């Protein structure tokens, strides 16, 4: 229930958070069939929120088990279609719990559901695809076996491409690649489980590579995404980086996308509060974008309510208050 209540709200918030937004390849997403979405993992929980909000299917997610605290938090996470997955770092005695989790995934897929998991396993803020874990392939083949290899299961590679991981008003592109049919790897799997797992995992990795940005080194990545900001260049396009030598450094035309002066003046109390909190509390930048988005989604509406109430009390005219709020919201979308 929570999933369906919050999805349209979060979608609107994401529209404000990103300056330019592009989704492509939705025609590659099977509508009424078992599907596993396999995105790269670079930007904390935004990597799950974005696919949930900007494609038509209802998703379930595999999430690291350490965030599942007992009580209310656990119930909330389940309400958002999140299931825990246990890693070796959580303790070897916990790995057996994954059997139950995998059974739930298999049951979801056999009922034509859609599962999202991150085959890289963990997150890193880097425009490169890492080696994939075999858990995704295990779930796919387990589901195929339980349906006697009679039901086609699809794995759809997803590319999440960020111009900047935590700056407001930057560009984002999400791409859905060609679906991979699990049954195409039935022969390999029946010949040898390990061979089947490796073949399917390799195919998914190759599919993901076509949809994401690949940068050779951290130094070059820092240049393209932090220093250059080239005007007229789409820094969310995998094709752009495939067709150039990323080691070459042309004279850049700085294009720092920041909140424009008008919007900053109108929102300075909430922006100051957010900046102060993020600077003092967030020590690991890989969580900065997600926390910034989550806090903004809470504190911007509160700030608008305070401004609206103050204007109505002082002027006695609620139309004036509403008009000011609309003007403030529009100001956020004006390019600096």
Tell me which DSSP letter residue 171 carries: E
Residues near 174 by beta carbon (within 8 Å), at least 6 away in sequence: 22, 23, 24, 50, 51, 54, 158, 159, 160, 161
Q: Residue 233: pLDDT above 80?
A: no
Q: Residue 187: pLDDT above 60?
A: yes
Quick one: pLDDT at residue 254? 44
CATH homologous superfamily of 2-209: Glycerol-3-phosphate (1)-acyltransferase (3.40.1130.10)
Domain boundaries along the sequence of the chain: 2-209, 261-332
pTM: 0.88
Q: How far is CA 147 from the centre of its chain?
A: 30
Residue with the two structure tokens 């000011």: 324
Q: What is the pLDDT of residues 26-57, one digit of tens each?
A: 999 999 899 999 999 998 889 999 999 999 99
Asked if 162 and 234 count as a contact pair (C-beta separation under 8 A), the reply is no
Mean pLDDT of all residues in 18-24: 88
Which one has a higher pLDDT value, 216 or 264? 264
Which one has a higher pLDDT value, 39 or 236? 39
Helix, strand, coil percentages in the chain from 3-state DSSP, rounded to 5: 55, 10, 35
Kindly list the distances between the CA atom of residue 259 and the CA atoms of 31, 168, 169, 226, in Å, as whole numbers in the listed order.
38, 7, 7, 16
Q: What is the pLDDT of residues 110-155, one digit of tens each?
A: 999 999 999 998 888 888 899 999 989 999 999 999 999 999 999 9
Q: State the DSSP string of 46-107.
A: HHHHHHHHSSSS-EEEEEEGGG--TTHHHHHHHHTTEEEE--GGG-GGGGGGHHHHHHHHHH
Quick one: pLDDT at residue 230? 52
Q: pLDDT band at residue 251, thresholds of 50, 70 and 90?
A: very low
Q: What is the pLDDT of residues 276-323, one digit of tens each?
A: 888 887 777 778 888 889 899 999 999 999 999 999 999 999 999 999
């Amino acid at each position: 229930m929570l999933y369906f209540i919050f999805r349209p709200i979060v979608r609107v918030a994401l529209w404000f958070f990103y300056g330019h937004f592009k989704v492509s390849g939705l025609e590659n997403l099977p509508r009424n069939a078992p599907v596993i979405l396999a995105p790269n993992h670079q930007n904390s929980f935004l990597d799950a929120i974005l696919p949930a909000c900007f494609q038509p299917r209802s998703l379930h997610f595999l999430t690291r088990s350490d965030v599942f605290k007992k009580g209310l938090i656990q119930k909330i996470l389940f309400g958002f279609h999140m299931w825990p997955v246990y890693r070796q770092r959580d303790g070897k005695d916990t790995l057996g719990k994954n059997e139950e989790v995998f059974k739930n995934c298999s049951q979801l897929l056999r009922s034509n559901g859609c599962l999202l998991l991150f085959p890289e396993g963990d997150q890193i803020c880097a425009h490169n695809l890492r080696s994939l874990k075999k858990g995704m392939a295990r779930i796919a083949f387990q589901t195929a076996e339980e349906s006697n290899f009679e039901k086609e299961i699809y794995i759809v590679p997803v590319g999440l491409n960020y111009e900047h991981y935590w700056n407001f008003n930057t560009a984002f592109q999400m791409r859905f690649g060609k679906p991979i049919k699990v049954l195409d790897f039935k022969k390999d799997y029946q010949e040898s489980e390990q061979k089947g797992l490796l073949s399917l995992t390799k195919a998914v990795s190759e599919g993901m590579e076509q949809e994401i940005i690949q940068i050779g080194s951290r130094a070059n990545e820092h240049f393209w995404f932090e220093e250059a900001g080239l005007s007229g260049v789409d820094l969310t396009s995998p094709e752009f980086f495939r067709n150039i030598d990323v080691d070459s450094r042309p004279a850049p035309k700085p294009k720092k996308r920041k909140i424009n002066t008008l919007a900053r003046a109108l929102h300075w109390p909430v922006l100051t509060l957010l900046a102060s909190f993020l600077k003092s509390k967030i020590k690991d930048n890989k969580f900065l974008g997600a926390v910034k988005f989550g806090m903004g989604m809470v504190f911007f509406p509160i700030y608008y309510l305070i401004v609206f109430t103050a204007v109505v009390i002082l002027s006695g005219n609620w139309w004036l208050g509403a008009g000011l709020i609309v003007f403030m919201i529009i100001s956020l979308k004006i390019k600096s």
